[in-house]
Amino acid sequence: MNRLKVMVNGMPGNVAASIAKHILTDERFELVRHSLTGPDITAMEFLIDETPVQLVKPDSRDDTRDATRDAAIEKIKETEGPFITVDFTLPVAVNDNAAFYCRHELPFVMGTTGGDRVMLEQTVRNSLISAVIAPNMAKQIVGFQAMMEYAAENFPGLFGGYSLEIRESHQKTKVDTSGTAKAMVNYFNKLGVRFTENDIIKIRDPKIQQKQWKIPEKYINGHAWHTYTLDAPDKTAQFSFSHNINGRDIYSWGTFDAILFLQKKIETQTKGNVFTMIDVLKGS
């Protein structure tokens, strides 16, 4: 069985590094030893255990101003052959990266949150590639969201009059509000609650996380805790849903399923399609 080549972009970021590390030990995959990184990264390479990965900055990955320039990505494609790209970079880079992948016909799995999501999907649909795009790669959380979506569609107004509190906690390096929490707002609104994304309580303070939330110290720099609490108008009933993730391994396993799913679509010459993790769960 030939190993499927995967390029993980976003190193030295923690999620990207964690996924790349698991790829190195998974017999189904082979890691492309290059990673697109941000303009502020000064290092030329990043070590995963003892494996060096060359970091490619935006100013050298391609040059749209000069078609004759032998850009870094074209050299990588020539050396590696076909591969699937995984993106765990920063919200500010989402749309630019997607345009880059489409321009160079690089099928990708986008786990990065933020950016203009409508533009993101349209960019893929106007291209010659397909992609898996999801704000959360944890299969179990995606399944939970699907259950909430089912409830929202089939029992509209179920929690009419109830008040809602959404609290989410991530490591302090996560600059944006949780994409999962924002997605849940839509479901709860359909269930009859009045709530906006701006009402989400976002915790990034390590002291609060450890002392008040009781998040284990070893996971302060890598966790995703969410709690959704609904209170009846007279406070006689309360419903609470939580999903607390420590570490980043759960995102690796979901990403791997997304990679394998996308590869099957590539083999059927599927182009210009945007898939979600729900598609991956059904297809797996």
Res. 259: pLDDT tops 90:
yes
Tokens coding 33 = 């030893």
| Domains of the chain, earliest start first | 4-133+249-283 (3.40.50.720), 139-246 (3.30.360.10)
Active site residue 174: yes
- Per the CB < 8 A criterion, the answer to whether 52 and 33 are in contact is yes
pLDDT reading at 64 higher than 80: no
Task: State the Cα–Cα distance between residues 133 and 102, nearest whole angstrom.
Answer: 13
Other C-beta atoms closer than 10 Å to the C-beta of 151 total 16
**Over residues 223-244, mean pLDDT:** 97
Q: Provide the percentage of residues in the chain whose pLDDT is more than 70.
A: 96
pLDDT at 68: 43
Kindly name the residue from 21, 22, 174, 190 that is annotated as catalytic: 174
β strands within the chain, DSSP E: 4-9, 29-31, 34-36, 45-48, 51-56, 84-87, 108-110, 131-133, 163-170, 201-203, 223-231, 238-246, 274-275
Radius of gyration over every alpha carbon of the chain, rounded to an integer in angstroms: 20
Rounded CA-CA distance 247/209 in Å is 14
Single pTM value for the model: 0.83
Residue 30, both tokens? 């082979």
List the end-to-end C-alpha distance of the chain, in Å, as a whole number: 19
Check pLDDT > 60 for residue 67. Answer: no
Catalytic, out of 22, 139, 170, 182 = 170
